[in-house]
């Protein structure tokens, strides 16, 4: 799907990122430390699409299943 309304999860993620980095942000001026902070904050935010789990929790559960 190429239309925004066909990709609501992607569009929601874009909106969350834009909260921290407005459109036109020069990422060459953003430190790796700041990017990591935002990444961690977003990955620890519960999402309805994940049944209110965090992306971090879902990823960790997936890894545990694969190595078990």
SS (H, E, C) the chain: CCCHHHCHHHHHHHHHHHHHCCCCCCHHHCCHHHHHHHHHHHHCCCEHHHCCECHHHHHHHHHHHHHC
- Residue 13: the pLDDT is 80
- Residue 15: the pLDDT is 86
Question: For 11-51, how does the pLDDT look when each residue is reduced to its tens digit (9 = 90+)?
Answer: 678 888 999 999 999 999 999 999 999 999 999 999 988 99
pTM (two decimals): 0.72
The region, left, alpha or beta by phi > 0 then psi within -120 to 50, assigned to residue 52 is: left
- Residue 32: the pLDDT is 98
| Cα torsion 56, 57, 58, 61: sign | positive
């Amino acid at each position: 799907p190429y239309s925004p309304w066909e990709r609501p999860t992607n569009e929601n993620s874009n909106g969350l990122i834009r909260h921290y980095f407005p459109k036109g942000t020069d990422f060459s001026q953003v430190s790796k430390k700041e990017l990591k902070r935002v990444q961690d904050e977003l990955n620890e935010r519960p999402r309805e699409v994940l049944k209110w789990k965090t992306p971090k929790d879902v990823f960790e559960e997936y890894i545990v299943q694969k190595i078990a």
